[in-house]
Amino acid sequence: MGLVVRNKKFISNDRYVVKKLWLFGGKNLRYCLIKTPMGLEKEIPIIKNVFEEATGRQPPQYLAVNNKIQAYAKRPACLNPVQIIGFYTRLPDGQGKNATQKSYAKHCGRNIPTLANHNQATYESCPYRIKKTYNREDKRKSGDVRSETIKQMFLLNFDKIAHLIKKIMGINYSENLLGSMLEEYIKWDAWDCVGATVENIPCFFLYMTDSQQLFGQHIKKDSFLYSELKKKEYGTLFAGSDSKTVQIAGFKNRPRARLKHHFTGHKSEPQNGEIVESCEVVFKIYDYHKNTEQEILRKKIIFDHDYFFNLLHLDSWKTDHRLLNMAKSAFLKLGRKI
């Protein structure tokens, strides 16, 4: 089921973890950027008590409009101002007299002084606006502050990104393979892509990597990949088995056959104030003796933004400085500033 953060309150020194947020497979939450009373910018979930404590119920988040107090924030994906809907009014959803929807953020289309200015260009590309299909070649304009934010978050948290993609895929990617994937991500300048946001960094890292060979990788026995590979028709050879993982060692009577995967079809679709974001992973066996390829599995991967958010704020996380240094070295090696 994954880790869970329970019964921790917002702490006034700006470190916060929300009560009962599942790190994987739990609540679907919306997020926003706010300014704390000390002027620091923080990303928090749109939950009433957390929002109130984080902002101190002060401007610029709380403003009077038409003699009514409204709550405002900034959307992480596009950095535009949004109005928080549903904190102080009941939102009927057709399920009965006392039914309510979860609170959510709505683009307000105007400047909110000292919080955020409306930017039409970033609004047009916001994944929360309309259903979108992205291409790797679609890039933001040079100097976009979102790109630098994504790049810095990637560098500071590459060890957590590696942990998360291993969990998503059920593959214990080796350090060498992670290094290869890392170089692909950097060569694409992936942080500049229109589809990249601070919320989808781990899965966008997967999406931006080209075809990678999986020979010698350890995969989990409870993974969708192992369930497919163990079928007799493939003749998969496994080695190094333990109670939880096996190593891909090749294919019977096919000494030059190799398993590879790549990612395609990155899409996002707003649904009731949330983003459903996904891509597909495709697994193929390439037989270099017969010059053939066989697609064996195609799987839709749903991005879990909540898991990443909570992982970023997990107090007990043990930093893997080796992976962080590997990421920094790869950026510098390929001529990118850090």
Same domain, 92 and 161: no
Same domain, 176 and 81: no
pTM: 0.71
Same domain, 119 and 159: no
Question: H helices within 220-284, ranges in order?
Answer: 224-229
Q: ω into residue 92 within 30 of 0, thus cis?
A: no
How would you write the pLDDT of the chain (338 residues) with one tens digit per residue? 233 332 333 322 333 333 333 333 333 447 788 888 888 888 888 888 888 888 888 889 998 888 788 899 998 888 889 998 888 765 555 444 444 456 888 888 889 998 989 988 788 777 777 666 777 788 888 888 889 999 999 999 999 999 999 999 999 999 999 999 999 999 999 999 988 988 899 989 999 999 999 999 999 999 999 999 999 999 999 998 788 999 999 999 999 999 999 999 898 887 766 778 899 999 999 999 999 999 999 999 998 888 888 898 888 999 999 999 999 999 999 999 99
- CA 2 – CA 27 distance, rounded (Å): 13
90-99, long-range: CB < 8 A, 24+ apart: none
Same domain, 164 and 310: yes
227 in helix, strand or coil? helix
Looking at residue 53, its pLDDT comes to 87
135 part of a folded domain: no
302 part of a folded domain: yes
Same domain, 95 and 30: yes
Question: Are 324 and 155 spatial neighbours (Cβ–Cβ below 8 Å)?
Answer: yes
Same domain, 208 and 322: yes
How large is the greatest C-alpha to C-alpha distance in the chain, in angstroms?
Answer: 77
- CA 251 – CA 237 distance, rounded (Å): 5
- Count Cβ neighbours within 10 Å for each residue of 189-219 and write b for 16 or more, e otherwise: bbbbbbbbbbbbbbbbbbbbbeebebeebbb
- Phi/psi of residue 243, nearest 5 degrees: -70, -20
Question: Are 132 and 195 spatial neighbours (Cβ–Cβ below 8 Å)?
Answer: yes
Same domain, 211 and 286: yes
136 part of a folded domain: no
Same domain, 288 and 259: yes
Same domain, 167 and 269: yes
Residues facing residue 246 across a β-bridge: 219
Q: How many domains does the chain have?
A: 2
Same domain, 189 and 299: yes
Same domain, 301 and 159: yes
Same domain, 158 and 14: no
DSSP 143-180: T-HHHHHHHHHHHHTHHHHHHHHHHHHTEE--HHHHHH
Residue 246: closest CA among 276, 225, 273, 262: 225
Domain that holds residue 151: 145-333
131 part of a folded domain: no
